[in-house]
Amino acid sequence: MSLLFNAKLLRLICLSTMLLAVTGCALITGDDGRYNPTPLTEYKAGLAARISWKAQIGKGAGVGFVPEVVGPFVYASASDGSVGKFDLATGNPIWAAKVDKKLSAGVGSDGKTTAVVTSDGTVVALDDSGQIKWRSKASSEVTVPPLVGSGVVVVRSGDYRVQGFNAETGERIWSVQRLGPSLALRAPARMLLLEGLAISAIPGGKLIAINAVSGDVQWEGTVAIPKGSTDLERVNDVVGAPRLFGSLLCAVAFQGRVVCFDIAAGGRVVWAKEFSSPVGMAIDPVQAYVPNERDTVSAFSLQNGGLAWRQDALRNRKLTSPAAYPGAIAVGDFEGFVHFMSPVDGQLLARILVGGGPIQAPLIATPQGILVQSGDGLLVMLGLN
């Protein structure tokens, strides 16, 4: 995770001191151990986790990469330009392609068009045999995976624009921009397609719903309001993916809140709690699960926001956005472990080493198990029993 600066701030602030509250930089706090990763401990296993299959995508990872599950297939990409389609049940490759530039974000797919973005902001669309259909330029760097659906490829760029491209031709058909703050968060983020609406975070703690075909803005909701006197204190971007259950649309912000809106009631806030997450959240029919910036995981009632439990056994282990799976909540960490917690009380149930260095991509719950994109470009399916 990092921060995006305008040119003036870039001269004033060193990149190595980004997100001090999360990393606990010793220059500010002193190295007293409070930010050291919690060692792994023994516990009574409640589940057995296993690796069902592995498949190599390519090499390299980053905050802009996440697999996309479409029916019985999964699409994925790596920063070295590799893009692939795999069988979700077995991991067998269906096709593999290589874009001739490094990638900064991917993938988005609807099963017909698969989109990735290169490091210079070029959107590349492939057909469902892995052949390149078109290339179009976004307005700036992109570190959020594209959204594909309703005949449109939607891209959120670093200059606070959300842009729509015709999925067949690559023509840019609309662009929506909002004024942005001086400082914004570079963290795992995703968009959501809901009944023809592209729902995206925009810097400053807001969600925006855009008609994917016309580009008309249908709704804006405030997840968090900036607070503090400095640009760093006022960073409060929405992180992870907006989550939907029934009519509830939920999201969480860094240095902000976790909140659920009722979209059937015009986006009315159902509940909100002060919270700060650098990675995002997961929900199931009962609760919302969110790691905070110290990697303590909290569970909130989906109905009213009441705190159900809090688990701090994984403090400072740089957790991923969680995945909610029947009987378990899964998170990845900086050493390549995946941990499973009970949704009932947060107790640790299992862990398994995936390897490949830090896991940055959000974990994905699928009918086959938990899908992980490792730090070294592997897709790994984890089964539970």
Residue 211: predicted pLDDT:
98
- The CATH number given to whatever domain includes residue 126 is 2.130.10.10
- Over residues 226-239, the mean pLDDT reads 84
Is the pLDDT reported for residue 27 higher than 50? no
Is the C-alpha dihedral spanning 243, 304, 239, 226 positive or negative?
A: positive
Residue 334 sits in which domain range? 2-384
Distance CA 73, CA 310 (A): 35
Residues 99-157 have pLDDT tens digits of 999 999 999 999 999 999 999 999 999 999 999 999 999 999 999 999 999 999 999 99
* Predicted TM-score of the model (pTM): 0.90
DSSP for 185-237, written as a single string: EE--B--EEETTEEEEEETTTEEEEEETTT--EEEEEES----SSSTTTT---
Q: Residue 268 corresponds to which amino acid?
A: R
- Over residues 158-167, the mean pLDDT reads 95
Which has the higher per-residue pLDDT, 26 or 337?
337
Residues β-bridged to residue 341: 329, 348
Residue 71: predicted pLDDT:
97
Give me the number of domains the chain comprises.
Answer: 1
Q: Which of 325, 370, 357 is nearest to 74 (CA)?
A: 370
Q: Which of 108, 145, 138 is nearest to 122 (CA)?
A: 138
Residues 270-297 have pLDDT tens digits of 999 999 999 999 999 999 999 999 999 9
Distance CA 335, CA 38 (A): 12
Contact 166, 126 (CB under 8 A): no
> What DSSP character marks residue 92?
-
Residues 304-335 have pLDDT tens digits of 999 999 999 999 999 999 999 999 999 999 99
